Each structure stands twice: as structure tokens, then as C-alpha cells.
Amino acid sequence: MIRNIRWISDCLKRLTLVSASVVVASIGHAQLSAPTGTVYVSHGLYTYPNYFGGPALPSFNIPGNGWMTAPGANYPVVNGHTQLSHAWAAAGSPWLTWFTSPIGNFGGATTSLYAFSTGNSAWIRWSNYTVFDNSPLGGGSYNLSGGDIAGTVGPLGWAGRAVVAFPYRIVARKPIGYAALGAAFEVEVYDQFNNLQRMFDLGVVAATDGLATARPDGNLFWFHLNLLNSPGVAATLGNFNQWWVGPTYHAAGWIAVVTNPFAMAPGWRWVINGRLTLLADPDYDMQIDYDQIADMNNQLAQYGEDIMGYNVVPEPASLLALSAGLLGMMARRRRKA
């Protein structure tokens, strides 16, 4: 489980929602074992008591499952949720792709992810995440995903970086509502005697209320969350764009935080726990934006190509039909509505 920490905003900047990923770039030879553990997905509805009056800083269900309970900037605090579907898979399994159809106020969601190691890198990797909402004020639709994975270090040791980086796209059709993305992750490193040598937490949060201007800093904001006991932050990165098509608001971009290098000795063990939360309410859509991945990866490449943690990649061709069908279903449902 992610440990109980005090999250503090490291940066507060204007940005739109981008998809996030936690990454560690390695320096050296293939030394990371295949991971053990699980990845999982949960889709459903959530409620909140008040649309205004939430905390200024983001909050997460820590200790617990890492659920983002509030994006910060006075956005609502989640006080209850109803899980409509869920799935899990062992690390090393093929892509776990989970689709939950629209039902009632729930607008539908899709998630695709898996966990694996290349030897130089170990990660949980997403290729798709979407959430659509059709609920009134007072509640919304969520998409929660992530995993808990662990592995060992080979005889040559390993050195690298931790990175959180996600791309996103948002569509808003109503003047009151919001969409938010939050990722909270913890990296733990143990020696050969199972003594904890390093533990640090990092994350990103991005949110927008689209057509409204009720938030303290206008439509957009982002947080790069502090790292606890971290090797230090090398860079906070991101990109944001917003535009209108008639009365409909669109936003797209990405957000990332990169640590300084850190090392693991031969025979040590690593653990990565983390969750990605998407929240949307009401009649807002949020999804991965594949157009942002190239720009994101180009800027992250300077910190190393091998990664350990969480990453986003273009969707495999075998999954494109599923996404196209989902988007078509949403469009048909909205036209009927």
C-alpha cells in the first residue's frame, strides 16, 4: 500500500489535463527482473456533498487504494462511490482491457494496461483510459486503475530516474462541471536483508472546469506533488492547449515530473505502488490523447530511454476498434439524449 504522507503542492501552474505516467530511466545493463504483482481497474459512480468548498491542495486515499478524493483548487471532495465493474490481472499477463457500458448516470469507461519488464525497465503501462459522464451535479463517473508490482535487481546493480507523465483530452458541454486526473505513486527500495533503504512518493494532478470561471485560478490548473524522501526533482514538464468549437470546450495536453537519478545495489528489491484516477461531472468527457504522446516522449527522452514505473504508449491496433466502438456508442447515446 502507498504509505501515509503529507502531500504538498510543489508547483501550481496553468495547464490542461494531460495523461500521467510514473517513470524511472535506467543507466546500465538489463538488471531488473520480471515483475510480480497485479494490475487492476475499477469503473463506477461517485458522489460529493458540495460542488464548491473543497480543499486548496489535492488529497488522496492514503493509506488505502490511492484513490484521488479531491483534485484541489476548491474542486469537490469525493465522499462515496459505487463500483459498477472491476477487473484485475497478474503482472506479465497480456494487456488487461476493460470496458464498462453506459448505464444510468454512468457514461461509460475503458481502460487498457499491463505490467512487465524489459530488463532495463519495469513498468505498468497504459494504452487507453477514458471516462464519460451523464450525471447531474452532486456526483460523477470515475475510472480508477493502477497496480502493485515488485521485482529484484541483478548482479550489476541499477541506476535511473522516477517519472510521472500522462497525456489527456477533455470535452465539456455544460457551464458547471469539471474533469480531473490525479496520479499518486510510491517507490520503495529494499536491500538484500529486506531493510527499507529508500521510499518516496510523487504524483501529478490536473483539472479544468471548462466553460466556467469559478475556480481561484480560472479554468485550468495543475499540481506537481512533492516527493517524500525523494532524490530530488530534476524537472517539472507539461503542455496545455484549450479551444472552443461553438459552445463546446476542449482541452488537451500532458503533465510530468522527473526525479534526479538514484541507484539500487545488486540483490536489492524494488516495489512500485500507484493509482490513476479520472473524475468527470456532469456531461464531461476525459480520455487519453495519443496526439500528445510524441511531444511528451521527446521531452522526456533527455532523461533516459529505459524506465521503471508508469508509462503511456500509443494504443495497440487490436484495441483501436474497441475504442472506436466506444466513442461511436457515446455519440449515439448523446444524440438520442
Average pLDDT, the chain: 79
Is residue 20 scored above 80 in pLDDT?
no
What is the value of pTM for the model shown? 0.84
- Binning pLDDT at 50, 70 and 90, where does residue 112 land? very high
pLDDT at 2: 40
Is residue 281 scored above 70 in pLDDT?
yes
Nearest to 39 by CA among 310, 248, 251, 278: 310
pLDDT at 15: 25
pLDDT at 209: 83
Q: How far is 255 from 53, CA to CA, in rounded Å?
A: 25
Neighbours of 154 (CB within 10 A): 17
pLDDT at 336: 43
pLDDT at 261: 87
pLDDT digits (tens, 9 = 90+) for 169-217: 999 888 778 899 998 888 899 999 999 998 888 888 888 887 665 555 4
Q: What is the mean pLDDT of residues 283-289?
A: 89
Q: How far is 127 from 123, CA to CA, in rounded Å?
A: 13
For the chain, give every domain's residue range.
9-336
Which residues are bridge partners to 243 per DSSP?
A: 250
Higher-pLDDT residue of 64, 20:
64
Higher-pLDDT residue of 36, 187:
36
Residue with cell 468548498: 53
Q: How far is 59 from 70, CA to CA, in rounded Å?
A: 5
- Binning pLDDT at 50, 70 and 90, where does residue 315 land? low
Higher-pLDDT residue of 121, 37:
37
pLDDT at 66: 80
Higher-pLDDT residue of 327, 82:
82
Is residue 304 scored above 60 in pLDDT?
yes
pLDDT at 146: 94
pLDDT at 103: 94
pLDDT at 45: 96
Are the beta carbons of 174 and 180 closer than 8 angstroms?
no
pLDDT at 325: 40
Higher-pLDDT residue of 130, 73:
130
pLDDT at 279: 95
pLDDT digits (tens, 9 = 90+) for 230-265: 687 888 888 888 888 888 888 899 988 888 888 999
pLDDT at 36: 96
Is residue 24 scored above 50 in pLDDT?
no
Q: What is the mean pLDDT of residues 294-312?
A: 80
Q: Which amino acid is at 60?
A: F
Phi then psi dihedrals of residue 301, to 5 deg = -60, -30
pLDDT at 208: 86
Percent of the chain clearing pLDDT 70 (strictly above): 76
